[in-house]
Amino acid sequence: MEVGDVSTVVAVDGPSGSGKSSVSREVARRLGLAFLDTGAMYRAATWWCLDQGVPLTDQVAVAQAVRDLPLVVGVDPDGPTVVVDGRDVGVAIRTTEISSRVSAVATNLEARAELGRRQRAVIEAERTGGWSDGRGVVAEGRDITTVVAPDADVRVLLTASEEARLARRARELHGTADAAALSATRDQVVRRDADDSTVVQFQVAADGVVTVDSSDLDLEQTVEAVLDVVERARGARA
């Protein structure tokens, strides 16, 4: 498959630690598509609420803060950016504090509706023009395949066993997957999935969504598996 030869929207859904961001970013890079990390938008919204002193327990105030959120996301897969009110928060939104509190925003239905609206706007812009000259976008997130982009040309549920997901996130955050690291990581993976599953389904593939199980695959193998799904979908449309 040649870089840049696809004009499509690829939606990648799945639970924490399944590899959505890393895999989606690499798939976008290889296909010459834009890359949208919707999870980063929820993290940025959480950071903004905390920066503005908005109590995350106040759902009305959080929803209003998200509506007012001065957010710009860059969609170049070689260097995606997240800027809030002119400040690059790409590093700040990956802290443990944000990871442990983002579900308060992610489970706020009005906040989800606003961020979903913005995500659809980015996807449409990249479908018709924009960063990659309208070639398309790979968008990843918990409700991309069902709520945000149910009409995407390719929809993938990227999943993995709980053990594999915990180990990956532990290595990402702590550089190791020993018992202490796994214990410290469990809240970010298991608890957050449990919280978010109260407002969105991301653990079972909806009709028309292809499941890719990465439990026993490394990054390269998972990327190739998703590229195969894209190729098959293109062939079916030809």
Token pair recorded at residue 56: 């995350």
Calpha distance 214→45 (Å, rounded): 29
Query: Following DSSP, what letter does each residue of 37-55 receive, concatenated?
Result: EHHHHHHHHHHHHHHTT--
Q: Is 21 labelled a binding residue?
A: yes
Calpha distance 151→174 (Å, rounded): 37
Q: Is 215 labelled a binding residue?
A: no
Among 110, 1, 96, 7, which Cα is nearest to 43's? 96
Cross-strand pairs, 34: 137
Q: Is 20 labelled a binding residue?
A: yes
Token pair recorded at residue 50: 């905390």
Terminal-residue alpha carbon distance, the chain: 15
**Type of residue found at 197:** S
Q: Is 14 labelled a binding residue?
A: yes
Query: Following DSSP, what letter does each residue of 123-188 receive, concatenated?
Result: HHHHHHSSTTTTSEEEEESTTIIIII-TT-SEEEEEE--HHHHHHHHHHHHHS--SHHHHHHHHII
Q: Per the annotation, where are the binding residues?
A: 14-22
Q: Per the annotation, where are the binding residues for ATP?
A: 14-22
